[in-house]
Amino acid sequence: MRVVYFDCFSGISGDMALAALVDAGADRAYIESELQKIRIEPFALQWRRVNKKGISALKMDVELDSSRPPTHHRHYADIVRMIQSAGFNERVVAYSLAIFEKIGVAEAKIHGIPVEKVHFHEVGAIDSIVDVIGVALALDSLQAERIYSAPVPLGSGTVRCDHGLYPVPAPATLEMMRGLPIAPTDYAMEMTTPTGAGIVSGVVHDFSKGLPPMVVESIGYGAGTRDLPNQPNVLRVVVGSADSYIGQWKANLQPIHADHAHPHEHHHHHGHHDHDHHHHDHDHHHHDHDHHHHDHDHHHHDHDHHHHEHDHHHHDHDHHHHEHRHGHEHEHDRARRHEQRDRHGHAHHSHEHDDKHDTNAHKH
């Protein structure tokens, strides 16, 4: 399973997310080629490496054709139609629509209007469209199957927008982060933009304060525009692979080694354990009758290593049983043996076979 982790220690924006994903290995040529399918004003992506507080990061900017500036607003409904008609694959369409839906619904709620009438202002609209669809293409390129994020710092202070001076986080940003973990910050600036919040709320499956379990394959750093006084203004993306059984496999390693080190402690009731472990209380009552199955059970031992932890419970119970029998052996040794031989006369195997296992049982 391919895992992508957004480490948002300095917040997240659309351009930071796209740059970090490309820096982590997303196919830049594929992204730029697919973005040309969007029917909007001419644009180009500019990529450069910058240094942010000692970290080399990739910076991405959307450059517009100055001779053909955008002249109209784009409504949410227009953007949805644009994405659906561009010819992207299903996953890219799903990611893009999920992000824009989060942004559109939040803006509609803040402004008190239907979501279809939410509009994106001129230049900001093109930036948002390119960033969002670019991130969707990057996640598709990385074949992301599970997407995680760290808790997101939103910032504080105020920010100027078309409607005037707004508090940070912007109302739409905070609305999108409803129900999701945010992190405190000391910086009086916008650390997470509405587009960044849309990405997190639209595509992230789960949140983790630290890296989720994975085998790390690549790491990317996407640079923000501003500089922070005490930390690098970058978004880190970690890409790796994970399998659901790896944690269980690691947990079983130590008991498996213990099994090899002390094989005599684990030779009871290994056989057919998958089907019979829920009957172990019943099996203990018939312990004496079951010794003759020991050799047969032992042949299945290799198939049942993963059940050895449950077998320990049987062993502890069996061991007490052996100690009790051993006490009787000192006092009634010969009588006890005859008594057991009589009882085992109804077993499926010979008396000699039973006596061998009875003797082995006392070697604990």
pLDDT of 51 over the 80 cut: yes
Beta bridge partners of 11: 9
In a domain, 286, yes or no: no
Helix (H, G, I), strand (E, B) or coil at 231: coil
State the Cα–Cα distance between residues 22 and 60, nearest whole angstrom.
10
Collapsing DSSP to helix, strand or coil, 300 comes out as coil
- Residue 144 domain flag: yes
Is 277's pLDDT higher than 60? no
From CA 172, how far away is CA 289, in angstroms rounded? 72
Q: Determine the structural domain holding residue 204 and report its residue range.
A: 2-245
Q: Is residue 351 pLDDT above 80, yes or no? A: no
Q: Say if residue 301's pLDDT is above 70.
A: no
Instruction: Specify whether the CB–CB gap between 153 and 9 falls below 8 A.
Output: yes
Name the strand (E) or helix (H) holding 2: strand 2-7
Could you give the number of structural domains in the chain? 1
Three-state secondary structure call for residue 45: strand
Is position 50 within any domain? Answer: yes
CA distances for 223 relative to 73, 127, 132, 322, 340, angstroms? 28, 16, 16, 69, 80
* Residue 303 pLDDT level (bands cut at 50, 70, 90): very low
43: left (phi over 0), alpha (psi -120 to 50) or beta: beta
340 within a domain of the structure (yes/no): no
Q: Give dist(CA 43, CA 62) in Å, integer.
A: 7
pLDDT confidence tier of residue 71, bands split at 50, 70 and 90: low
pLDDT of res. 123: 55
What is the C-alpha separation between 279 and 82, in angstroms, rounded?
62
Q: Is residue 16 part of a domain?
A: yes
Does 106 have pLDDT greater than 80? yes
% of residues, the chain, pLDDT over 70: 66
Considering the domain boundaries, does residue 276 fall inside one?
Answer: no
Q: Which amino acid is at 173?
A: T
* Domain contains 256: no
Task: Please check the confidence at residue 237 and state whether its pLDDT lies above 50.
Answer: yes
pLDDT at site 163: 76
Give a yes or no: residue 296 inside a domain.
Answer: no
pLDDT, tens digit (0-9, with 9 covering 90-100), for 257-274: 444 444 444 444 444 444
pLDDT digit string, tens, across residues 165-208: 999 999 999 999 999 999 999 899 999 999 999 999 999 999 99
* pTM of structure: 0.68
**359, burial (CB in 10 Å: exposed 0-12, middle 13-18, buried 19+):** exposed
Q: Does 308 score more than 60 pLDDT?
A: no
Question: In the chain, what percentage of residues exceed pLDDT 90?
Answer: 58
pLDDT in tens, 316-335: 444 444 443 444 444 444 44
